[in-house]
Amino acid sequence: MDSKYTGIDELLRIMARLRDPEGGCPWDLEQDFASIAPYTLEEAYEVADAIQRNAPDDLRDELGDLLFQVVYHAQLAGEENWFDFADVVTAINEKMIRRHPHVFGDEEVADAEAQTEAWERHKAREREKKSGQPAESAIDGVPLALPALVRAQKIQRRAARVGFDWKETGDVMLKLEEELDELREALAGNQPVARAREELGDLLFSCVNLARFLDADAETLLREASDKFSSRFRKVEQMVAEQQGQLQDFSLLQLEDFWQQAKKPVAGEDE
């Protein structure tokens, strides 16, 4: 891409200009860390979306948007005399070297799984060093702001590392069935709605656990399931439109028939 606007220094200059009280952008001048944070999360999800769609041009653009968010937060921090973008870069450089002693030092790791365990040990030591005291819990430091599925899986992995875990997938399935029975009981009996909601939460948590045992990311699985439903639902809408009607004009039995047709894979596509 040929452009005179290249390099991180140019991006930093643009950011500073946007925040300049003399002639900067009115909207950008009104922002702070809290107001920008939702945009940071949104851009991260848009990066993930471009990856899932296998859209390299969009991925390039979305990575740029995400990088701009980092620059934005660094600019705000610089205005508070906390740190600047160079400090952010230095910190991540030091962290990567520190957490990869098998690459930049003399340590050895057997495989990716061993490296993951070593990575978590390094993180735990860093958390203890930062707080000045040993961790009170194995799940300390799991951010509350994470998406619920991501946070659940992270908590479960932390607990598993200290031995609080099922031995095999069959055990997880039994727990899943137990939670499902408890949900059925709550729904069938004269139980408060809050009880059914609690049991449903337990069931979802067990589903996340099963995803972990399948070496899958629960957030990705649910996203893919949502995409699959959306694709099939659009096919149902198309079938209804071809009959010049509205969904509400058809019986549930008719719509189920459309749904079964929508589920049939096209040539070269898995069901």
What the block records as the tokens of 32 is: 């702070």
Distance CA 180, CA 177 (A): 5
Q: What residue segments make up the domains of the chain, in order of their start?
A: 8-98, 137-216, 220-263
One CATH from 3.40.30.10, 1.10.287.1080, 3.40.50.150, 2.70.150.10 for 137-216: 1.10.287.1080
> CA of 10: how far to CAs of 14, 19, 49, in Å?
6, 14, 27
Indicate the helix (H) or strand (E) that contains 175: helix 169-188
Domains 8-98 and 137-216 agree in fold: yes
Distance CA 264, CA 50 (A): 27
Tens-of-pLDDT digits for all 271 residues of the chain? 556 778 999 999 999 999 999 999 999 999 999 999 999 999 999 998 899 899 999 999 999 999 999 999 999 999 999 999 999 999 999 999 988 888 898 888 877 777 777 777 777 777 777 777 777 888 888 888 888 999 999 999 999 988 999 999 999 999 999 999 999 999 997 888 999 999 999 999 999 999 999 999 999 899 899 999 999 999 999 999 999 889 999 999 999 999 999 998 765 555 5
Q: Can you give the pLDDT at residue 110? A: 79
Q: Can you give the pLDDT at residue 166? A: 93
**Residue pLDDT, tens place only, 113-142:** 777 777 777 777 777 777 777 778 888 888
Taking the domain 8-98, which CATH number applies? 1.10.287.1080
Query: What is the value of pTM for the model shown?
Result: 0.69
Q: Can you give the pLDDT at residue 270? A: 54
Q: Are 48 and 104 in contact (CB under 8 A)?
A: no
